[in-house]
């Protein structure tokens, strides 16, 4: 009897020690989904989420809420975005029952050239300073979105952020971390200390931070729309500053800029239509990965298995080889997007995957004919917005125009200096872009608005989110919390071939036996902290919204 009792005590204790952490769902989920009926906002900062919700509650629609939240993130998360950067968005219009795409990415200055860069002895466009600065497109993106879909006054969208900029807000943990990392990089650039080191150091977690200069800039934009930022005082100040620093961005580059409405493109994955924007972004890489993997039984392979990881990485390598060669500004290149994302092409490339051996070199296929923020919103009428915005390389170029309170992006770094490359540097041409919003429809109705920030991680994570939802039948929060696979070192937008097979970063949750199997296949396994991205999503089922926010960031999904 004593032995039986001791055994039962041991069994209970073992169960407690190794017990299931959650009452429902997958053990790796950080929390349950957020559920609401009248509206939902998911952003990477709780205060931005609350601003978006307030806009919805006060008569604004999903588009108004998305713009207002994005404005707030430029103040509260300047380590990833701001009015010096670019923007892409996919909007589901409940009235029209269709998707609209907006490309608000800016081109290189008209007068910059490959010859000039090479004359300076440079083998690539610098990461920082005045030379990688391209026209900032986000502000015009807000204007275009509001003019077409907005429901309340444009000025109202700026008021909450202007107040926070004037009175201050508490800095969150992740943003404080990125501020600390950015300090050494930008310390010696003009106006950095004055803007983000007002207390003598970059803001710490919980510190109240103000940006009076940005408040004034936002107020001017709110009253004049594009007139001052692109055609007036602010444009003149921006271009004058860049010219003084030795760059090329001119007043004419600013005044001539217009963001562009584009048609989203899609591919069906096991009954779900997954939508991305066409190049100059990298969104169609996610569609290519999904098309290739659709030919395999991923569910049978098993989540986090070596077999699944291997097939995913090999599909990614193929898609990224095409990304490196073909993805560029379509105004300057004839890109056969329809064929790239076709099932026919996927079948041809799928045959290249060796089921038990990692590829060391991947080339692009032959075609026929030639740090970031993400947010999503939804309203009571059924409108939904998938929006992503970024400066690139975290805070951007280091170029902070005098007394304006923001940093300009450095997207032009992504151009190639090879004049024969599709993504070659040219004045007036938009660079290859990493930031991509995504959307999913089911039987012609909106199903999912989502995105994952994080450079080359994004199309890989887009594909994994869909696979987690569809193949592994996770809920919306679990799909983002599941351990991620990120392959790095593959073909870049300035090259056309991967030389060494790259390496895989795996989050905690993958067994040592799986890692050993992958190594036997020829994969190199490393761990790059911070490459796994940041996810937000809203799903619509039976007129109810389900929200999810990234557990790796400070974000929040909230509805009502």
Residue numbers annotated as active site: 372
Cβ pair 479, 452 in contact under 8 A: no
The Cα–Cα gap between 111 and 289 comes to: 37
The dihedrals phi and psi of 487, each to the nearest 5 degrees, come to -95, 130
CA 505 to each of CA 266, 485, 486: distance values in angstroms, whole numbers, following the listed order: 28, 6, 5
- Per the CB < 8 A criterion, the answer to whether 387 and 95 are in contact is no
Question: Are 105 and 330 in contact, with CB atoms under 8 Å apart?
Answer: no
What's the CA gap between 173 and 554, in Å, rounded? 7
The 8-class DSSP code of residue 86 comes to E
| Residue the block writes with tokens 């060494």 | 500
10 Å Cβ neighbour count for 217?
Answer: 25
Size (the chain), residues: 560
Cα–Cα distances in Å, from 247 out to 110, 234, 238, 252, 415?
11, 17, 11, 14, 16
For residue 198, what are its two tokens? 């007002």
Contact 401, 423 (CB under 8 A): no
Work out the burial of residue 224: count CB atoms within 10 Å of its CB; fewer than 13 is exposed, 13-18 middle, 19 or more buried. middle
How far apart CA 414 and CA 423 sit, in angstroms, is: 8
Facing residues of 54 across strands?
A: none
Give the distance, in angstroms, between the CA of residue 193 and the centroid of all CA atoms in the same chain: 27
DSSP E strands, 28-124? 34-36, 40-43, 86-93, 98-104
Return the beta strands (E) in 454-555 as ranges. Answer: 485-488, 503-506, 525-526, 534-541, 544-549
Please write down the long-range contacts of 142-146, taking CB distance under 8 Å and 24 or more positions apart.
Answer: 142/67, 142/70, 142/71, 142/87, 143/225, 143/226, 144/102, 144/104, 144/259, 144/261, 145/63, 145/66, 145/67, 145/89, 145/91, 145/102, 145/385, 146/63, 146/64, 146/67
Measured distance CA(249)–CA(114) in Å, rounded: 15
Contact between 439 and 449 under an 8 Å Cβ cutoff? The reply is yes
What is the longest distance spanned by two Cα atoms in the chain? Answer: 90
CB-CB contact of 369 with 326 (8 Å): no
């Amino acid at each position: 009897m004593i032995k039986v009792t001791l055994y039962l005590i041991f069994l209970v204790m073992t169960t407690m020690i190794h017990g299931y952490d959650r009452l429902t769902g997958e053990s790796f989920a950080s929390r349950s989904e957020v559920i609401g009926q009248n509206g939902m906002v998911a952003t990477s900062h709780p205060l931005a989420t609350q601003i978006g919700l307030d806009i919805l509650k006060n008569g604004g629609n999903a588009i108004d809420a998305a713009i207002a939240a994005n404005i707030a993130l430029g103040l509260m998360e300047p380590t990833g975005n701001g009015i010096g950067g670019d923007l892409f968005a996919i909007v589901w219009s409940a009235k029209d029952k269709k998707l609209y795409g907006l490309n608000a990415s800016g081109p290189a200055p008209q007068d910059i050239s490959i010859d000039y860069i090479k004359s300076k002895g440079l083998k690539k466009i610098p990461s920082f300073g005045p030379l990688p600065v391209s026209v900032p497109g986000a502000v015009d993106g807000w204007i275009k979105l509001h003019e077409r879909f907005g429901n309340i006054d444009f000025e109202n969208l700026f008021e909450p952020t202007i107040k926070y900029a004037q009175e201050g807000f508490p800095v969150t943990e992740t943003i404080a971390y990125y501020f600390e990392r950015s300090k050494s990089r930008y310390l010696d650039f003009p106006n950095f200390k004055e803007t983000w080191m007002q207390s003598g150091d970059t803001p710490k977690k919980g510190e109240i931070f103000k940006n009076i200069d940005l408040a004034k800039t936002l107020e001017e934009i709110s009253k004049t729309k594009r007139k001052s930022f692109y055609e007036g005082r602010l444009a003149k100040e921006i271009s004058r500053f860049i010219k003084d620093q030795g760059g090329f961005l001119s007043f004419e580059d600013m005044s001539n800029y217009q963001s562009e409405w584009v048609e989203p493109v899609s591919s069906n994955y096991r009954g779900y239509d997954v939508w991305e924007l066409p190049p100059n972004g990298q969104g169609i890489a996610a569609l290519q990965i999904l098309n290739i993997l659709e030919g395999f039984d991923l569910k049978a392979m098993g989540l986090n298995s070596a077999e699944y990881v291997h097939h995913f990485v090999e599909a990614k390598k193929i898609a990224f080889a095409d990304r490196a060669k073909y993805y560029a500004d379509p105004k300057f290149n004839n890109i056969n997007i329809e064929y790239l994302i076709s099932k026919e092409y996927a079948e041809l490339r799928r045959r290249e995957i060796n089921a038990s051996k990692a590829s060391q070199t991947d080339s692009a296929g032959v075609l026929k004919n030639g740090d970031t923020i993400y947010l999503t919103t939804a309203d009571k009428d059924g409108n939904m917005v998938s929006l992503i915005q970024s400066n690139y390389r975290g805070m951007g170029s280091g170029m902070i125009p005098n007394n304006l309170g923001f940093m300009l992006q450095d997207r032009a770094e992504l151009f190639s200096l090879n004049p024969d490359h599709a993504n070659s540097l040219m004045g007036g041409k938009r660079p290859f872009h990493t930031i991509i919003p995504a959307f999913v429809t089911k039987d012609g109705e909106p199903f999912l608005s989502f995105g994952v920030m994080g450079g080359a991680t994004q199309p890989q994570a887009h594909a994994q989110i869909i696979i987690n939802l569809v193949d592994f039948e996770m809920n919306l929060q679990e799909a983002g919390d599941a351990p991620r696979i990120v392959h790095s070192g593959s073909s870049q937008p300035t090259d056309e071939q991967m030389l060494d097979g790259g390496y895989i970063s795996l989050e905690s949750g993958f067994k040592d036996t799986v890692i050993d199997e992958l190594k036997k296949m020829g994969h190199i396994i490393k761990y790059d902290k911070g490459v796994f991205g940041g996810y937000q999503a809203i799903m619509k089922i039976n007129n109810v919204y389900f929200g999810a926010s990234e557990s790796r960031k400070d974000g929040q999904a909230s509805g009502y």
